[in-house]
Structure 1
Amino acid sequence: MYIIVGLGNPGDKYEKTRHNVGFNVIDLLAKEYSIDVSKIKHKALIGEGRVGTEKVILVKPMTYMNLSGESVADICNYYNIDLENLIVIYDDIDLDVGKIRIRKKGSGGTHNGMRSIIKCLGSNEFPRVRVGISKPKNGQDLADFVLSRFSKEDEKSLQESFENSVAAVDCAIRNDLDLAMNRYNMK
Structure 2
Amino acid sequence: MLLHIKNMVCDRCQMIVRQQLENLGFTVKQVALGSAEIAPEPDEEQLQLVSAALKVPGFELINKETDKTVEAIKNAVIELVHHSDLSELNISFSDLIAKRVGKDYAHLSRLFSNAQDTTIERFIIEQKVEKIKELMEYGELNLNEIAYQMGYSSSAHLSTQFKSVTGLTPSQFKASEKAGRKAIDKI
Bigger Rg over Cα: 2
Q: Return the TM-score normalized by structure 2.
A: 0.26
Greater fraction helix: 2
Q: Return the TM-score normalized by structure 1.
A: 0.26
Which structure has the higher relative contact order (CA within 8 Å, separation 6+)?
1
